Chains A and B, each alone.
Chain A
Amino acid sequence: MEPVQLFVTCMAENLLADVLEKMVGLLERLGVQCEFPADQTCCGQPFYNSGFQREGREMALRWMEVFAATAGPIVAPSGSCVEFVKHRYPLLFPEGSPERALAVRTAARVRELSQFLVGDLKRSDVGASFPHRVACHSPCHLTRGLGVRTEQQTLLKAVQGLELIDLNESDTCCGFGGIFSVVYPEVSQAMVEAKVRNIAASGAEVVVVSEPGCLVNIRGGLAKMNSTVKAMHLVEILAAQGGGR
């Protein structure tokens, strides 16, 4: 199998380095060799989604050029960043341009981690063990945007000892929304509080939040509301073998 290119995303790189390290560990445990194009920076989504389309386009071009020097699947622990590359990049450049052609080729290579594990590696059981009650948040861009609706559950159900429990309003947005969270902080807060209340009511010990932005938001919300529930990225659970949380 050809090596995968790690798309670490600026958010995970700066705030969730341990998630990235565990992702590498997990992929290697499954026999997948990882490569890290070190010149990668932000994919441009935060700019584009805030209305700065010109800046977004320039950053997208840079990002594509970095990955153009590599081959094989590009895997990220984020549905949002992957969706941006997959769906937005081709639309950023005029039809018929070489940039457009590159964007289309790049878009075909990107995968969100659970999508890669289930869709490409055809794995549902990755040999993890995690004996805890776990609820699962459905990140908007992963599910609605990228259409990855069942893969997380498929992987979680195969984890040894894991009890997957229902989360009320699991597909309701947690209130992160990129720039939204700082433009309208009061609304963002109300939304994350609603999410935390649902998580608390679920009876879970751990909530899976497989999107860096949502994870930072929900983790913060849980801390603010003094919840004992722990928010974890899917990778952290799939990497676990000893059973501790």
Chain B
Amino acid sequence: MKEPMEKIDFRANVQQASPAVIAATRNSTRTALRIRGDVVHAFGEERWQRLRQAGHDLRLHSLTHLDRYLPLLEERVTAAGGRVHWAADAAEANGIVREIAARHNVRSIVKSKSMVSEEIGLNHSLEAAGLRVYETDLGEFIVQLAGQKPSHITAPALHMTKEEIARLFREKLKVDARPVPEELTELARQRLRPEFLSAGMGISGGNFLIAETGTLLIVTNEGNGRLSTTLPPVHVAIVGIEKVIPDWESAAVLLKLLARSTSGSKITAYNTCITGTREAGPQEFHLVLLDNGRSRILADPIARETLLCIRCGACMNICPVYNNVGGHAYGGVYQGPIGAMLTPQLMGTRLAGGLPFASTLCGACAEFCPVMIPIPEILLHLRHRFVEGDACEGPSVPGLLKAAAWAGRRVLGSPSLYRLGGRMARTLQAPFRRGDWLPSLPAPLNRWTAARPFPAFRGDFRSWWGKRTAAGSAVEPGTGRGARP
């Protein structure tokens, strides 16, 4: 049932991004960064850094002891009346959920926000089985209505303006909608309330799984996470195996990091803690533990830290690339720096090897990441996987580029060829030179000059140095332009 996956062409996607989408994205991320900055400042910079370190060490400990925490979690969930399912991939997870729905004659489903369900294409799978699925997170609801994909992991409709959303509501919900966020929100509430009350199944993701007690922890601001997991008679939670943490002390650390990084608040409006089944709650609680490539990522000591991620979205808010392309350019479920790291590992670099290059390695994301994922380091690791291959995957880089790198290394690695190259560049540039600039160069160098001119190869430091050494340091600095072609 796995959908055939297509190669992600980041450059082509970028060229399709509209200026309006990018403007809306920037406006939203700017606000998000400002409120995050305020709340981190209030927490205290030094204290925040200590909290981040604790979050990092905690998540890494959890991952490297997953072989013991997973069975412990399973035991505790089962003891509390829950059912634990294991899914090796998307097809298995989708099959498990469809089977539970069929057993309960479910016809409609309410879903709270879950990136994992996007990752496995759950809605598509359920709809193909004749089920109605309602996304209930406001952003997800909007995106589902528009037939689009989320453009941000925590704010799925970040790329849309209130005017677009009002137009969408008028068209799809047949209601009179004005471009006022409060009114649009109220319309979504009225539309979804009956669905919550009548759905046969609620589906959620999970922010953390606490091994100590077998607890699923869900954070939401809207309350849809609570409604989806309280009202329907069956609750199915689909969670990646990497979300397991040891205990409640760990949860305390991570919730502080998550709320501040995601929404710039000290705490998320609702933190819901669910352990198995309960009186007056859903009759059945199912936990689907999804691997879908995570155990493979775990085996790579450098790439492993990708799995530390707590899905806060701060990396994309701060990322200058994300802010100039919007979330859809990343082609997958995860956007921004986390998408550039995670998607090539889930899909393979053969299909998504261009994403690790969609970064200037500026390091802003790593400075913001609440669990200190060394993002540039992992991107470099994946670039290397793409180019030279590693234990995980063979190389996918085009042969021509490989040959160019080989030649480049010969030239730049040999003093004589290097000097010759410098002299040749100064000669060969003549036909392209306009004053101090080379305004346009032939392919592939036009990839640079289409954006801005290249500076002319001017001066010759080596001959300047040689002359002044010979003359006993008599040559004025900055005047050694004698070697101009």
Contacts and interface: CB of A to CB of B under 8 A. Distances in A.
B143 to A, nearest CB: 23
B31 interface: no
20 contacts: A15-B457, A18-B481, A25-B477, A41-B415, A50-B387, A50-B405, A51-B380, A52-B409, A54-B388, A140-B360, A140-B363, A172-B364, A176-B360, A177-B359, A180-B358, A180-B359, A188-B360, A192-B451, A194-B324, A220-B454
B14 A187 contact: yes
Contacts of B409: 47, 52, 55, 58-59
A8 B405 CA distance: 22
Contacts of B354: 183
A245 to B, nearest CB: 13
Nearest to A36: B465
B357 A180 contact: yes
B360 A177 contact: yes
A239 B412 CA distance: 30
B18 interface: no
B452 interface: yes
Interface string B447-463: 11011111101111110
B383 A49 contact: yes
B418 interface: yes
B480 interface: yes
Interface in B1-25: 10-11, 14-15, 22
Contacts of B37: none
A13 B478 contact: no
B384 interface: yes
A62 interface: yes
A173 B357 CA distance: 15
Contact of A185 (B386, B425, B447): B447
A130 interface: no
Given A15-B458, A18-B478, A54-B388, A144 B453 contact: no
Interface string A162-202: 00000000011101111111111111111110100000000
B363 A144 contact: yes
B320 A175 contact: yes
Contacts of B27: none
Contacts of B175: none
A229 interface: no
Given A8-B461, A51-B383, A220-B452, A180 B364 contact: no
A25 B448 CA distance: 32
Contacts of B405: 47, 50, 52, 55
A41 B461 contact: no
A101 interface: no
Contacts of B451: 181, 185-186, 188-189, 192, 220-221, 224
B414 interface: yes
A51 B422 contact: no
Q: Interface residues of A toward B: which range?
A: 35 or more
Interface residue SS majority, chain A: helix
Contact of A182 (B360, B444, B452): B444
A4 interface: no
A148 interface: no
Given A36-B465, A140-B362, 12 more contacts: A21-B479, A42-B413, A47-B408, A52-B384, A55-B405, A55-B409, A176-B360, A177-B359, A177-B360, A178-B361, A182-B448, A220-B451
B473 interface: yes
B14 A219 contact: no
A145 interface: yes
A64 to B, nearest CB: 12
Interface string B422-457: 100100000000000100000011011011111101
Contacts of A223: 437, 452-453
A39 interface: yes
B89 interface: no
A53 B388 contact: yes
Contacts of B461: 8, 12-13, 17, 20-21
Contact of A221 (B15, B444, B445, B452): B452
B460 to A, nearest CB: 6
Given A8-B461, A51-B383, A173-B360, A224 B453 contact: yes
B422 A13 contact: yes
The list of the 10 closest CB pairs from A to B, nearest first, reads A177-B360, A25-B477, A17-B459, A51-B387, A220-B452, A189-B451, A51-B383, A173-B362, A140-B362, A42-B412
B420 to A, nearest CB: 12
A94 B15 CA distance: 43
B397 interface: yes
A121 B362 CA distance: 29
Contacts of A40: 415
A7 interface: no
Nearest to B406: A55
B325 interface: yes
A191 B324 contact: yes
Contact of B387 (A46, A52, A141, A216): A52
B450 A185 contact: yes
A186 B450 CA distance: 9
B457 A239 contact: no
A189 B450 contact: yes
Nearest to A215: B455
A10 interface: yes
A24 interface: yes
B195 interface: no
Nearest to A61: B413
A176 B451 CA distance: 11
A49 B361 contact: yes
Nearest to B385: A51
B453 A220 contact: yes
A144 B362 contact: yes
Interface in A100-146: 140-141, 144-145
Contacts of A187: 14, 321, 324-325, 358
Contact of B358 (A36, A184, A217): A184
Nearest to B383: A51
B452 A14 contact: no
